[in-house]
Structures are given as C-alpha cells and as structure tokens.
Amino acid sequence: MMFDLIIIGAGPAGITASVYAARKKMTLLVITRDIGGQAAWSGDIENYTGYQFITGPELASKFEEHMRKYGIELRENEQVLELKRKNEAVWVKTDKGTYEGKTAIIASGKRSRELGVPGEREFKNRGLTYCATCDGPLFAGKDVAVIGGGNSALDATLQLIRIAKHIYLIDIAPELTGDLVMREKVGESSKVTILNSTRVTAVLGERMVSGIKIRREDKEETLAVEGVFVEIGLIPNSEFAKDLEKNRLGEIKVNSYNGTNIPGIFAAGDVTDVPEKQIIVAAGEGAKAALSAFRYLAQHK
C-alpha cells in the first residue's frame, strides 16, 4: 500500500503530526520503537500550556489517547534502518519490513548519550540507568549519583530527592547550566551534594553497581553509590536518514515549513536543528510538518 504520509516516531512531534494528518483525512502510517518519547521520561511538567502541573507519563498517556482516537495505523517496536526517496516515493525500511509513502515526517527524537567509561555498559540496568522516571523507584533509600548539569540532570535529581537517601550531582562543568528555578530547588535540598568540575572515570561493582570513580582537582576518589543516573545529553536518532542534510550535532536541518533538503521529506521535534528542545515546541513543529506534508501533496498530485 502507498500511504500519503509515513511518520517515524511517536513522541510529542510524531503524535501531534499524526493527529493533524488524520484530521486532514490523509492515509498514514506511524512507525515507532515506543510511544511518548522523551515526554514519557520527564518528571514533573509545569510549563505545558493548559496544565499547571502534570507528570511526563501522564502527558504522554494523553497524547497516545488522542492519537488512538483516530484509529491510526501504527507499527510499534519497529526500528527504522533506512529512508530514501526513489521514483517519486519515500521508502522506509525497518527491522520488520519495508513501507512506501508519498511523503514522510521524521520525528524520531533523540536518545541518551553514554559516558564512555569502563563499567558503563557492564552495569547498564544493573544499577546504571538513563531514566530517573523509569527506574528511580528502584533506588528508594539508597545513595545515588546523577551525572550531568543541564535540565535533564536537574529533573532527575528533583525526582530522586523524594526517593533516594542521598544524591551526588556530578557535573563536568564549573557551574550547573539548567534553568534557574530548577537549580534553586536542587540547591535548597540537604539531600544533594553538588560536585562541579568533576569527571566520572569508571563505574564500579561486582554483580551490581557499588560505586564510581571520580576525578576533581587532579585527585581521584571513589564514591560509594548503588545507583548511577546518566544525564549528559542526547544524540539525534537520524542515522537512518543518510541523504538528509544535518548539522555538526547530527540534527536534521529544516526550514520554516519543516522541509528538509529532499522534497516530500519533512522533520520535526528534537531530531531537527530547531532550537529549544521542549515538549510544547516539538508538538508545534509536528503540527507544522503535517500541514506542510498535506500542502505538498495538494501541489504534487
């Protein structure tokens, strides 16, 4: 079947794009590894218009409910391996099949950046994690470390204050870089020790994490922790789109209509070079991308 539109990803951008496309009566397919994207990993959200307070999982659930209302064809737990435009059609190859569309929107988001130190991969899901929202409750009453200094690290720390015994917030930079409100909340807690200008050099343990090695002021020391939360940034999921123009970070370059350098292929959300990686921004970009795809089809019958 030739779809009018294939959407890759079901985070805020992809889900919003699917709702707009469905309302335009476009035949569409959504391909995704999971539903909710980064929104589902967020803790407390206080800046999404219409909700003075909502948790990330709750908001992601509302997004999903809205999408499923339209009976959209969905392929979950599929990983896109390749995307190409051939003979006036867009071909999307996944680990489970190949699909053909007249247009496509890439809304594949980003994934967590790894530390790249000894012990990280060995202890993944054995005390080391990249999602405080998902795994935080497993560390109730324990000493843990959060690695990073931006909003994601601060968000993880704020979640863990309610759960963990003590949190070491370890940042390689001289100062935390996240939003001032979040920095103030973290700084007010007696359960948090902030270690700036500090680098993690190894993750330690036997069967499970038991500590980390850190280097600060040219001195190496060991911190006894039972949990490590890596929050040092994100990498765009754009490798499968080899023909699209990207910036030095691997983000797909888009114009004001969410168009890429290839006609008929659009992109939206965190995978693009649009500044400010926010849920509300991604949702808006998804809406624009769907309207642009609809306009493209109207002009290229």
Write out the catalytic residue numbers.
131, 134-135
Phi, psi at 159, each rounded to 5°: -65, -40
Phi, psi at 57, each rounded to 5°: -60, -35
Closest CA to 70 of 7, 131, 147, 134: 7
SS3 content of the chain, % helix, strand, coil (to 5): 25, 30, 40
Collect all residues with Cβ–Cβ distance below 8 Å to 30 and sequence separation of at least 6: 6, 7, 9, 10, 14, 18, 67, 72, 73, 74, 75
Amino acid, res. 107: A
Amino acid, res. 61: S
Orientation angle between helical segments 56-68 and 12-23, nearest 10 degrees: 20
Q: Are 160 and 229 in contact (CB under 8 A)?
A: yes
The number of residues in the chain equals 301
- Supply 96's token pair: 């489970």
- Supply 230's token pair: 């890596």
Could you tell me where the DSSP H helices lie in 165-273?
180-187
Residue with tokens 């499968």: 240
Collect all residues with Cβ–Cβ distance below 8 Å to 65 and sequence separation of at least 6: none
Angstrom distances, CA of residue 151 to CA of 42, 117, 232 = 10, 22, 10
